[in-house]
Amino acid sequence: MRTMITPQYIVRRIVHPHATPSRESVTCFAPANIALCKYWGKRDTILNLPVTDSLSLSLGDLGSRCHLRFCEKRDQVSLNGEELSHLHPFVKRVSNYLDLFRQDRQAFYRVEAVNTIPTAAGFASSASGFAALVMALDALHGWELNASDQSILARLGSGSACRSLWQGFVHWQAGTRPDGMDSFGVPLTDATWPELRIGLVMIDRAPKPIGSTEAMLRTVETSTLYGSWPTKVGQDMSELLQAIATRDFDRLGSTAESNALTMHATMLAACPPVLYWNSASLNAMQSVWQARKDGIPVYFTMDAGPNLKLLFPESAHTSVESRFPELVTAGAKAEDASP
């Protein structure tokens, strides 16, 4: 669906044009996040407004660091130390996003982005990247925006970025307003779970065959299973919130795994179908199920790609690692929801 409300209009509502830049350069960090209840389907494709709520856990020190300053002539972007050509698709995406914030047409930015999450191993960094960029824009310009407004701005870059402004558990409230001013992340500040871990299992580095935006659109428009997705999300959100409140690991893990499988089922029923898994993904899922049969508390979740993310308590770390030796474990800071 298309709206008449533009991202430029939203930025003008949030950002005060008369603030004067307070610093010459800034560096900000935002964590990556993994959804336990997924965002799948947009009610507005321009403003990245979701059909449903979603809930994520941030990955501690795995994420993106953004160093930002002004520069001349044109935007400059480096990624993990490599200077990118202005024709690179990543630079175009960043530059288009920066267009929303330029106070005059001669204002250009130099962005040095460093991902501490292994992107070469196929783990998405756009959420932490856009969140870190928004934090850096705010600090560079001296806007002093509150975190909800920063979350709205990050959402305009990539939907799931609105959950990357905080550590810990974050609830993205879908909101109902056409302008999306009520659609932003809210950290579960009382939720602590220091024992909870997320491990990343790399299956394949190949770029995904279809981007998440297009896959969501196709699912919403053609999948006969999509009609039941909002009900599923409603049930899973309340299960997850209760599991977090009572630190019930099996309830959390089984709900997250079922939520991810249901999201993928809606895609499989799209026309033409969307399948992000390969045979190694299936083998890894079966290994997780076997590990559980053998008494190891571990569940998986998966996003728009073939890789798995494993949920387990710290007490099972060694046993999980023995089944998945390539595991990259995040110090997911479920005990700390501060920005």
Report the interface residues with ligand PMV, using CB under 6 A. Answer: 35, 38-39, 54, 126-127, 158-160, 212-213, 303-304
What the block records as the tokens of 236 is 């899973």
Burial of 18 (0-12, 13-18, 19+ CB in 10 A): exposed
Region label for 41, one of left (φ > 0), alpha (ψ between -120 and 50) or beta (otherwise): left
Q: Which is nearer to ligand PMV, 39 or 169 (CB)?
A: 39
Q: Which is nearer to ligand PMV, 141 or 171 (CB)?
A: 171
Least distance (Å) between residue 174 CB and ligand PMV: 12
What the block records as the tokens of 15 is 């950002």
Q: 58, 81 in Cβ contact below 8 A?
A: no
Q: Which is nearer to ligand PMV, 119 or 158 (CB)?
A: 158
- How many angstroms separate the Cα of 275 from the Cα of each of 5, 82, 232, 279, 285? 33, 32, 20, 11, 15
Least distance (Å) between residue 126 CB and ligand PMV: 6
Least distance (Å) between residue 122 CB and ligand PMV: 13
Residue 258 phi/psi, 5-degree rounding, is -65, -35
Pairing between β-strand 42-44 and β-strand 49-50 as defined by DSSP bridges: antiparallel
Q: Kindly calculate the radius of gyration of the chain based on its CA atoms and give it in whole angstroms.
A: 20
Q: Which is nearer to ligand PMV, 98 or 127 (CB)?
A: 127
Least distance (Å) between residue 288 CB and ligand PMV: 18
The whole-angstrom separation of Cα 42 and Cα 32 is 21
Least distance (Å) between residue 160 CB and ligand PMV: 3
The DSSP bridge partners found for residue 65 are 29, 114
Our CA dihedral for 312, 314, 318, 321, rounded to 10 degrees, sits at 40
Least distance (Å) between residue 45 CB and ligand PMV: 10
Least distance (Å) between residue 35 CB and ligand PMV: 3
Least distance (Å) between residue 19 CB and ligand PMV: 28
Residue for token pair 């299973």: 225
Q: Which is nearer to ligand PMV, 54 or 76 (CB)?
A: 54
Q: Which is nearer to ligand PMV, 52 or 76 (CB)?
A: 52
Alpha-helix runs per DSSP H in 106-203: 126-141, 147-157
Q: Which is nearer to ligand PMV, 26 or 131 (CB)?
A: 131
167 closest CA partner among 301, 29, 264: 29
Q: Which residues contact 21 (CB under 8 A, 6 or more apart)?
A: 70, 140, 141, 142
Least distance (Å) between residue 28 CB and ligand PMV: 19
Q: Which is nearer to ligand PMV, 64 or 212 (CB)?
A: 212
Q: Which is nearer to ligand PMV, 32 or 320 (CB)?
A: 32
Taking 3-state DSSP, the helix, strand and coil percentages for the chain, each rounded to the nearest 5, stand at 40, 25, 40
